[in-house]
Amino acid sequence: METSTQTLLFAAELIEENGTYTLVVEDVDKGTVQSTPVPRAMVDRLPVFLAALTARFGPEQQRRGW
């Protein structure tokens, strides 16, 4: 029986403070952190982006390839 190991590569947080949004991404391997402001319109569309990624790269799609 094969076992798999998960390795955290990046960690992301979306922070809201007083109506301003900031995306913070940590590169766990390199130990670096980057942040950038994110417009509210992008925050509102985040579920759409995640659904598109899931549809494109979800487990059922991986078997078929590109």
Question: Could you tell me if residue 57 is inside a domain?
Answer: yes
Site of tokens 């952190």: 33
Domain that holds residue 42: 10-61
- Predicted confidence at residue 62, as pLDDT, reads 47
The answer to whether residues 23 and 34 touch, using CB atoms and an 8 Å cutoff, is: no
Per-residue pLDDT band at 66 (split at 50, 70, 90): very low
Taking all residues of the chain, what is their mean pLDDT, rounded to a whole number?
90
Give the chain's domain count: 1
- Predicted confidence at residue 11, as pLDDT, reads 98
- Alpha carbons 63 and 9: distance in angstroms, whole number: 23
Q: Report the SS3 class of residue 23.
A: strand
Question: Could you tell me if residue 30 is inside a domain?
Answer: yes
Question: Could you tell me if residue 2 is inside a domain?
Answer: no
How many C-beta neighbours within 10 Å does residue 26 have?
17
Q: Which amino acid is located at 63 in the chain?
A: R
Whether 2 has a pLDDT exceeding 80, the answer reads: no
Question: Could you tell me if residue 5 is inside a domain?
Answer: no
